[in-house]
Chain A
Amino acid sequence: MNPLSTFQIIQKIPTVLPQAATILSLIFLQFSAPGAPVRPSGTIGYLQQLNEEDWILKAEALHYLSENKVPEALESILKITKDEKERSWIRSRALVAYCKIQNSQDIPQTLSTFASSSDPVLREGAAESAGLINGNKGVDISLKLTADKIKSVQLRALASYSRIMGEKAWPLAQEMTESLAEELIPLAVESLALIGNQEALERLKELTKSSTNKRALIESLSRSTNPKVLPVLLNLLENTSTDDANFAYVISALSKNNNEILSSSLKDLIRTGRDSALFVAARIITILFQDPDLGKELLSALTTTSAPETLEAVMIALGSKEMNPDSNTEFFITHLKNETPEIKILSIRCLSHCKEANLYTLLKETIKDDESGVSIAAINALMEAPLEDAPTGTLVSYLEDVLVSTDNVIRKAAFELLGHAGNADDFEPALAMLGEALSGTDTVRREAVAEALGSIAPDNGIANVARRQGYVSNWMVLGTFLNDKEHKAFANELEPEKGIDFEKTYPSTYVWALQGNQRRDGEKPIEREIGWSEASVNKTNGMLMMGPLLPPPGTFSIAYAVSDFNSEKDQDLFLSLDGDDAFKVWLNGEKISEQVAPYLHRQSCIASQGNIKIKLKKGKNRILVKSANIEHEWWVRARITDANNKPVELF
């Protein structure tokens, strides 16, 4: 789209000007005068939303703007209240919103009009709004509407009257809240909560018990700021399942109270000693209000007969990082021996939050637990523990049971922990304990053990781990010779293939082309002299990584790797080969394999050929590999096994 020319803009002025004025006024609202209160984000959107046709959007905007008391909305809202084409319910909500934002002693004309309207929905709006007028100017209207012919209007008016009059409203409320139909209970509850005297609260509790509409009840109760209502909400929570949506709704209502009041109510709740009360208190602490003092109350109220769910909830509450879990270490340690695996796991997790606890000491027995979930949780916790806590030099014996566990998952986790927390001092004991797996036929186990050992092996240990798995691990390497994307040099016979002489040096060339980017036309390859050098596999999975062994840059390159080894006898074995990008292999001068992987830019290109039957002669044998690389990873790997895929060690 082309930008508008000045002329086009001038032409459009009549149409864009009103829109621009609106936008500018909205911007002005966002960046109002210095010192003005900061508008909540979204204000502009909600102001626009007041003009929507959709009543749901309009109601949402009214709610938001009144909750945030946005004075700029007053004019538009007043218009809605006066719009006779608008539905009554929206006009009624608009009046409530207007009075909330206005927050003054003035009674808007609309309120009086609605109060005497023949439309009960408008009267109900007037009844609710009367309670929002500051001072006691709304008393007359609300009192008048308590005698309305419609019960819901009466009760709305009673709530407003109670909001203004407080305890003085009790005689009227006593009369009006007796023998109510169930659907009216939530409306009555609001009045009783606002009155807040002993009698009103007793009536409130009775009504609460007989109501099934919990959602409306909670909503009514949450509109009261009377702290005496908190026990009612807590009681409701005790009788609400955590799976019930109302549970979260009560929590939300509780969150409107200040911490001091909430803490005091929770203490009272905990001191009842009821299992359900402890459960609810623990949940509130976890979700809403982390206070270590409440944690102490919880702990002292807990008994040996507490239900597992309660114990679990208490542990979750006490284990949270904000609850000073270190002060509850003994509690968590005790439950490491709990009969229930879930509780044991929870104890482990809680202990892992204790900064002062040495998990290696505490979980020494737990990692051997018969229940695999417990054992794995313990190992996982140790993975997160400070490395300096790990037993130096004795980690392998510490982990002995899990390292040789029959459970694959535990073993794998144990190998990972050994690799993570172990060091070179642990290598020899680990090799002694696990070495057998390296020469076994269980590939998954072999690779996991090799990886763990590789993580703690000293420099000279890597090749040893690889060799015990049957990988050819000691090589002589020579490179690089110039290759290209079509592998032409790979296809051609180069000098080293005509005869190996480790003393000989070779003229070679290379190009400076990184990551597969072709050199420029006419760019001359650079000459250099290369010779053979010793190399060991540098990964426990048997890979001979060419990059670190050969001069840079390693792209568009050919290299040779030779390994001489002895066989005790003439024997038929199997050779498996793989490499990135391409290889040719000769055994005792005879070519036995050639594989080229299709080139993929900046990706691994792995060629492989498994189980090539080979004949070894007694005495010295020689394997020669020609390896090619275009870019990215460059490696080769060779493994010799017997017919059962068991590694054969050759020297």
Chain B
Amino acid sequence: MKLITITFTIISVLALGNINAQDPPSQSVGVARLTPEVRTAITKGLEYLSKEGSQRADGSWGGDQNRVAETSLTLMAFMLQGHVPGRGQYGRKMENAIEFLINKGKERRGYLGTPRNHAGMYEHGLAVLALSEAWGQSKNPRIKSALTRAVDVILRAQNKEGGWRYSPEPRDADLSMTVMQIVALNSASEAGIAVPQTTIDKAAEYVLSCQDQGSGGFKYTAGGGEPNFARTAAGVMSLIMCGQRDLKATQRGIAFLKAFPESKFKSTNHFHYAHYYAVQSMYQSGDADFRAWYPKISTEIVGKQNKNDGSWSGSYGQAYGTSLSILILGVPYRYLPIYQR
């Protein structure tokens, strides 16, 4: 239903002749307003990602190590502002990126991650997320075929505890990788790919097992690790996606995020990763929380933009930092199904 709404919105925009996707019908969605500064920052960021030579000939973005991940994030950054694959200013580049991801799946029997890459399942999850969102915007049947196989890889790789880890096999599990797969499955399910409810329920069980009972934050694994802001943001977001927003554990996680001191807000570990999940958690948590949260993080992100070229630095390179910054700033756009409540 959400998908239909979004598609309808996009079609309406196009029908009205408003094909400038950078100028969506509303910049204030419900509770938070996209300030002119934020809109400019996003536009500049997208220009950086689309500048000559930024995208490789095979349609990918990023360095040699995590190209699938960076390409997926970049593709989503374009879609976030309402750009549609195959149309308009960035349409060609987006189509090329989609082909890059589809080809990765073809090469590896549905697995989209880079073999032997420690972050292979992250890449896979992000690619599923990006392709699911793309499938909502461009009814390219090749996307659906790649998605179906990729989702199957995730389903088969869920371990006994309900989680996932580095490789596409049902071995061990950690919170971070599990959250990535939950987000991917949720998005794929929204796009119409069948995902068994038992998979989601088991995944939620695993996430819950990672909650620290003392503080309400989330740890790296069920067995240990210190709870921190990034893990808690991820844990909360995934529980919401599993339909557990009203669960006491989720609410405790949200309380943990809200109690996180502002002094540490700017310099938290895994800055982009943490705030990507945190801003979505707050958006899903409700108007009051998002209204209090969004101005803080958007000001912070805009302040970190490289003024000369519009990019953001990130732990894994400029494409990673820029696309995630755009995805954080652009939550109010709500063009991506993942940004729907």
Contacts and interface: CB of A to CB of B under 8 A. Distances in A.
B261 A526 contact: yes
A553 B217 contact: yes
B216 A548 contact: yes
A634 B255 contact: no
B214 interface: yes
SS of B interface (majority) = loop
Contacts of A545: 213
Contact of B215 (A523, A524, A528, A547): A547
Interface residues of B, number: 18
B263 A552 contact: no
B213 A547 contact: yes
Contact of A552 (B248, B252, B264): B252
Interface in B139-157: none
A553 B261 contact: no
Contacts of A451: none
With most chain B CB atoms within 10 A of its CB, the pick from A517, A548, A555, A629 is A548
A552 B213 contact: no
Interface in B237-266: 248, 252, 255-256, 259-261, 263-264
A633 B214 contact: yes
Given A512-B264, A547-B215, A552 B226 contact: no
Interface string A508-540: 001010110100000110101000000000000
SS of A interface (majority) = loop
A548 B213 contact: yes
B284 to A, nearest CB: 19
B227 interface: yes
Interface string A621-651: 0000000010111100000000000000000
Interface string A333-349: 00000000000000000
Interface in A537-570: 545, 547-548, 551-555
A555 B263 contact: no
Nearest to A510: B259
B260 A514 contact: no
Given A553-B215, A633-B213, A633-B214, A514 B259 contact: no
A514 B227 contact: yes
B285 interface: no
A523 B261 CA distance: 11
Given A514-B228, A515-B226, A552 B261 contact: no
Given A548-B252, A552-B255, A553-B256, A514 B217 contact: yes
Contacts of A523: 263
Interface in B208-226: 212-217, 226
A514 B213 contact: no
A281 B116 CA distance: 49
B263 A547 contact: no
Interface residues of A, number: 22
Contacts of B216: 547-548, 552-554
Nearest to B224: A602
B269 to A, nearest CB: 13
Contacts of A633: 213-214
Nearest to A546: B214
Contacts of A526: 259, 261
Contacts of B213: 545, 547-548, 633
A632 B227 CA distance: 12
A555 B255 contact: no
Given A512-B264, A545-B213, A633-B213, A551 B227 contact: no
A512 B214 contact: no
Contacts of B264: 512
B227 to A, nearest CB: 6
B226 A553 contact: no
A148 to B, nearest CB: 62
Nearest to A634: B214
A551 B251 CA distance: 11
Interface string A605-635: 0000000000000000000000001011110
Contact of B259 (A517, A552, A634): A552
A555 B214 contact: yes
Interface string B259-280: 1110110000000000000000
Contact of A631 (B214, B252, B256, B260): B214
B260 A512 contact: yes
A234 B261 CA distance: 78
Nearest to A511: B261
A515 B255 CA distance: 17
B235 to A, nearest CB: 13
Contacts of B260: 512
A555 B215 contact: yes
B261 A554 contact: no
B62 to A, nearest CB: 33
B214 A554 contact: yes
With most chain B CB atoms within 10 A of its CB, the pick from A523, A551, A631, A634 is A551
A549 to B, nearest CB: 10
Nearest to B251: A548
B261 A548 contact: no
A547 B249 CA distance: 11
Contact of A547 (B214, B259, B261): B214
Interface in B115-149: none
B310 to A, nearest CB: 33
Interface in B28-73: none
Nearest to B256: A552
With most chain B CB atoms within 10 A of its CB, the pick from A515, A523, A552 is A552
A633 B215 CA distance: 9
Interface of B: 212-217, 226-228, 248, 252, 255-256, 259-261, 263-264
The 3 closest A-B pairs by CB, nearest first: A553-B215, A552-B256, A547-B214
Given A526-B259, A552-B215, A633-B213, 12 more contacts: A512-B259, A514-B226, A515-B227, A517-B226, A547-B214, A547-B216, A551-B255, A552-B217, A552-B256, A553-B214, A553-B215, A631-B214
21 contacts: A512-B259, A512-B264, A514-B212, A514-B227, A514-B228, A523-B263, A526-B261, A547-B215, A547-B216, A548-B213, A548-B248, A548-B252, A552-B216, A552-B252, A552-B255, A553-B214, A554-B215, A629-B214, A631-B214, A632-B214, A634-B214
Interface of A: 510, 512, 514-515, 517, 523-524, 526, 528, 545, 547-548, 551-555, 629, 631-634
